[in-house]
Amino acid sequence: MSDRHVFEYALLRVVPRVERGECVNAGVLVYCRPESFVAARTHLDEARLLALDPEVDLPGVRAALRAVEGVCAGGDAAGQAAHDDAGRRFRWLIAPRSTIVQPGPVHTGLTADPAAEVERLLDLLVR
């Protein structure tokens, strides 16, 4: 059991029309403190999103999802968050916001491989 670590994760949801409350899962954020690991992976089902709102700003949604991945990756892509530690970047990304791309609630689990967990959750909850 000692080779497994607690991790936290949240879904990224696209809410094209907030007043309707409908959403499409479009990504997952994973944070594992003992490994100083944070990552986001996204997958946008454009047909499903367009079914909810045929006039949704697809380029804007794609850009917002890429920005989340960039903040997690750090470096130049993270902008002002580039020098923040993994935990701070994760907490900033999961803060509630009323934009079209919103984080869902945070959940926890145990993993021996946080990077593999990102892919597993993406396949299970998004694709």
User: Which tens digits make up the pLDDT trace of 39-73?
Assistant: 999 999 999 999 999 999 999 999 999 999 998 88
pLDDT in tens, 74-123: 777 777 777 788 898 999 999 988 789 999 999 999 999 999 999 999 99
CA distances from residue 50 to 26, 96, 101 in whole angstroms, order as listed: 13, 24, 15
Could you give the 3-state DSSP secondary structure of residue 56?
coil
| Closest to 74 in 3D by CA, of 123, 37, 124, 113 | 37
Residues in the chain: 127
